[in-house]
Chain A
Amino acid sequence: MRLVILDNYDLASEWAAKYICNRIIQFKPGQDRYFTLGLPTGLPRNHPESYHSYMWNNFFKHIDIDPNNAHILDGNAADLQAECDAFEKKIKEAGGIDLFVGGIGPDGHIAFNEPGSSLVSRTRLKTLAMDTILANAKYFDGDLTKVPTMALTVGVGTVMDAREVMILITGAHKAFALYKAIEEGVNHMWTVSAFQQHPRTIFVCDEDATLELRVKTVKYFKGLMHVHNKLVDPLFSMKDGN
Chain B
Amino acid sequence: MRGEQGAAGARVLQFTNCRILRGGKLLREDLWVRGGRILDPEKLFFEERRVADERRDCGGRILAPGFIDVQINGGFGVDFSQATENVCSGVALVARRILSHGVTSFCPTLVTSPPEVYHKVVPQIPVKSGGPHGAGVLGLHLEGPFISREKRGAHPEAHLRSFEANAFQDLLATYGPLDNVRIVTLAPELGRSHEVIRELTARGICVSLGHSVADLRAAEDAVWSGATFITHLFNAMLPFHHRDPGIVGLLTSDRLPAGRCIFYGMIADGTHTNPAALRIAHRAHPQGLVLVTDAIPALGLGNGRHTLGQQEVEVDGLTAYVAGCSVESALEAASLHPAQLLGLEKSKGTLDFGADADFVVLDDSLHVQATYISGELVWQAEAARQ
Contact = CB atoms under 8 A, between A and B. Distances in A.
Q: Do A and B bind each other?
A: yes
Contacts, number: 26
B353 to A, nearest CB: 13
Nearest to B45: A67
A70 B42 contact: no
Interface in B26-67: 30, 41-42, 44-46, 48-51
Chain A contact residues (Cβ within 8 angstroms of B): what range?
10 to 19
Contacts of B30: 61
Contacts of B50: 67
**Of B44, B46, B48, B49, which is in contact with the most chain A CB atoms at under 10 Å from its CB?**
B46
B46 A52 contact: yes
Nearest to A52: B46
Contacts of A64: 51
Contacts of A53: 42
A221 interface: no
A223 B287 CA distance: 59
A61 B41 contact: yes
A60 B49 CA distance: 12
Contacts of A52: 42, 46
A60 B42 CA distance: 9
A57 B40 CA distance: 12
A9 to B, nearest CB: 22
B291 to A, nearest CB: 32
Contact of A70 (B44, B45, B48): B45
A56 B49 CA distance: 12
A67 B49 contact: yes
Chain B contact residues (Cβ within 8 angstroms of A): what range?
10 to 19
A68 interface: yes
Nearest to A61: B41
Nearest to A62: B30
B51 to A, nearest CB: 7
Nearest to A66: B51
B175 to A, nearest CB: 48
Contacts of A66: 51
Dominant SS at the A interface? helix
B14 to A, nearest CB: 10
B322 to A, nearest CB: 35
**Of A52, A53, A67, which is in contact with the most chain B CB atoms at under 10 Å from its CB?**
A67
Interface in A54-95: 56-57, 60-61, 64, 66-68, 70, 72
A90 to B, nearest CB: 14
Contacts of A68: 49
Contacts of A72: 46
A56 B51 contact: no
A46 to B, nearest CB: 15
A59 B50 CA distance: 16
Nearest to B29: A61
B12 to A, nearest CB: 12
Contacts of B49: 67-68
A94 B45 CA distance: 20
Contacts of A70: 45-46
A217 to B, nearest CB: 42
A126 B178 CA distance: 64
Contacts of A57: 42
A36 to B, nearest CB: 18
A53 B46 CA distance: 10
A61 B41 CA distance: 8
A48 to B, nearest CB: 13
A53 B353 CA distance: 15
A143 to B, nearest CB: 25
Contacts of A56: 41-42, 45-46
A57 to B, nearest CB: 8
B51 A67 contact: yes
Contacts of B41: 56, 61
Contacts of A60: 45
A61 B46 CA distance: 11
B57 to A, nearest CB: 14
A201 to B, nearest CB: 31
A60 B30 CA distance: 13
Contacts of B48: 67
A52 B44 CA distance: 12
Interface in A168-194: none
Nearest to B46: A52
A72 B45 CA distance: 12
A57 B42 CA distance: 8
B54 to A, nearest CB: 14
A67 B41 CA distance: 11
A178 B46 CA distance: 35
A50 to B, nearest CB: 10
Interface of A: 52-53, 56-57, 60-61, 64, 66-68, 70, 72
12 contacts: A52-B42, A56-B45, A56-B46, A57-B42, A61-B45, A66-B51, A67-B44, A67-B45, A67-B50, A67-B51, A68-B49, A70-B46
Given A67-B45, A72-B46, 4 more contacts: A56-B46, A67-B50, A67-B51, A68-B49
Interface of B: 30, 41-42, 44-46, 48-51
Q: Which 8 A-B pairs have the closest CB atoms?
A: A67-B49, A56-B42, A67-B45, A68-B49, A52-B46, A60-B45, A56-B45, A53-B42
